[in-house]
Amino acid sequence: MIFYGKGIATPQVGGVVVANTVDKRFNYQVREPFSASFSCERENANAACLPIMPMQLRFNAPITRKLAQAITLKSSAGTVKPSIDEGDGDSVVQNIQFKPPFTEDTDYRIELPSGFADTAGRTLRNAESFPLKTRTAGAPPLAKFAASSFGVIERFAEPGSDKTPTPALLPVTLRNVEQALPLKALTERRPVGQISDMSLTQDADIISWYLRVQRANSTDRETRERPLLGSNVPMRKLELPAPPASEAGKDTTKGRPFEVVGIPLAPGFHVVELASQKLGAALLDEKLGKSRTMYVRTSALVTNLGVHFKLGRENSLAWVTTLDKAKPVAGAQVRVSDCRGKQVATGVTDAQGVAQLSGIAPQAPACNGTKGAEESSNAYFISARHTGADGVADMAFTWSDWQKGIEPWRFNLPQSMQDEPNESLHTILDRSLFRAGETVGMKHLIRQLTGKGFAVPNASQAPTELIITHVGSGTVFKQPLTWRSSKSGGLSSESRFTIPPAAKLGLYQVSLASPRNTSEGGAIETVQFRRGRIPLARAGGQYHAR
């Protein structure tokens, strides 16, 4: 702050002295000295940089792009150039990044070019820190399922023969973890293989566990330090393949190298959970103790069935096909449940693999933490079960809100989530161009769209008001509507509107409004007409408008 006190005067110029009569204060901010800061991802505050994450250098003032491109990251393995956002050659930057991967357990140094300064010509305050030395750690432990919370595994995706079919494999990516990982699996039925299981034959149990895994992997990070599968689920060791011969005799204290391992699973729904103390030591809080364990889980459906569901206002249908040959499955038992597991409808697929379903409300009931389903859901659960020619009892399911990428609006298809049938409104005009003072005759029709075609609604459900709006000025004219039934069973209304002499030229919109559609954004437009000048032919071939 600069203080300009009372009484301070200018030097005498031409016999005149100008003195300050009040105290004045002027605030200003001094710019910090030019400096650079380095950052990288680490397992903890005392660890070296992760070799799989980028390293960043930030400046508190801009530098030229040309100068930033001259910064290098060097090691015994070579030199890494910085990654800078696209832009003009004369543009300025304040952040640069060195992209991974980097060599594990290696010393690195960041070197700046000579004459390094910001755009104002200021040199670094912490220039003595450069070349800046840093170091990478070993790659951190990793145990990651291909699908975080849920995935579908095709039964016949792996090559094999009819006599020795290859079991379905759940892929899990591992790095620097134990040779033998504790593994628990909760499955829909007792498998033939080695995985211990607890029987899950009811849709309600599958729904509950599916939602429980979703919540554990998305909202509650504390579940990483607690097992999701309790002590009542037997555990077995996942024995990893032996290291390749080229790695025999090497130091194995740091764990196994990066690899993808397949866990064999039988047909059905599974919840699989791995436990690793090496993951816990690297990623969990030290306050949890030296023997802290981290848990990684997922759910998977092993099947050769594909279930497709169409939810309608009056009826619904399920279509069941095979995954390997995309052929319809006849005789499949289809069951529709709400998110609490309560049965809503059942059916059996016909020769085309289609099961017609009825009695399903278009709006699924919402569930909040019921029957162990900690995560909210408001969709239907549709399951299909079928025993194929190979004698294997297969099962698959879908949710009614699984429509990403196939939403009706993507294909310009109309849709409605209301319980009542959609209404179709239409207005018929004797012509579409009028002059001031002329009368517009209109006839309005209303029908309901049902599964059997058009239907006539009750007159009490019809619009009650006619609204005519001038496009541009927004001038509005309103009239009440009276509906009458015709001898043929239809429902119609007639209106007459005389265009005022002072009515503006241009386009007019005709809309019908009722208490039912007012809450949905106002009236429904049915037709348009124009108030204009009609050209008339005169003698001599000249045209005039009136």
Query: How confident is the model over 241-294, as pLDDT tens digits?
Result: 665 554 544 544 455 678 888 888 889 998 898 888 888 888 888 888 888 899
How confident is residue 19, by pLDDT bands cut at 50, 70 and 90? Answer: confident
Structure tokens at 24: 């004045």
Decide if pLDDT at 374 tops 50: no
How confident is residue 152, by pLDDT bands cut at 50, 70 and 90? Answer: very high
E strand or H helix at 210: helix 203-218
Question: So what's the pLDDT on residue 224?
Answer: 84
Phi-psi region of 541 (alpha: psi -120 to 50; beta: other; left: phi over 0): left
Are residues 526 and 426 in contact, defined by beta-carbon separation less than 8 angstroms?
Answer: yes
Find the DSSP H helices in 30-150: 65-69
Question: So what's the pLDDT on residue 199?
Answer: 47
Are residues 442 and 488 in contact, defined by beta-carbon separation less than 8 angstroms?
Answer: no
Phi-psi region of 129 (alpha: psi -120 to 50; beta: other; left: phi over 0): alpha
First to last CA, the chain: 75
Is 0.85 topped by the overall pTM? no
Q: What is the pLDDT of residues 158-195, one digit of tens each?
A: 776 556 678 888 999 988 888 777 787 776 543 333 33
Are residues 474 and 462 in contact, defined by beta-carbon separation less than 8 angstroms?
Answer: no
Decide if pLDDT at 471 tops 80: yes
Strands lying side by side in the sheet with 305-310? 305-310, 316-322, 354-357
Q: 155: exposed, middle or buried (C-beta count within 10 Å: 0-12, 13-18, 19+)? A: buried
Are residues 57 and 110 in contact, defined by beta-carbon separation less than 8 angstroms?
Answer: yes
Instruction: Check whether the bond before 457 is cis (ω within 30° of 0).
Output: no
Q: What is the CA radius of gyration of the chain?
A: 37
Are residues 477 and 497 in contact, defined by beta-carbon separation less than 8 angstroms?
Answer: yes
Are residues 223 and 214 in contact, defined by beta-carbon separation less than 8 angstroms?
Answer: no
Q: How far is CA 12 from the centre of its chain?
A: 74
Number of H helices, E strands in the chain: 4, 36
Q: Residue 478 and residue 270: Cα distance in Å, rounded?
A: 63
Question: So what's the pLDDT on residue 45?
Answer: 80
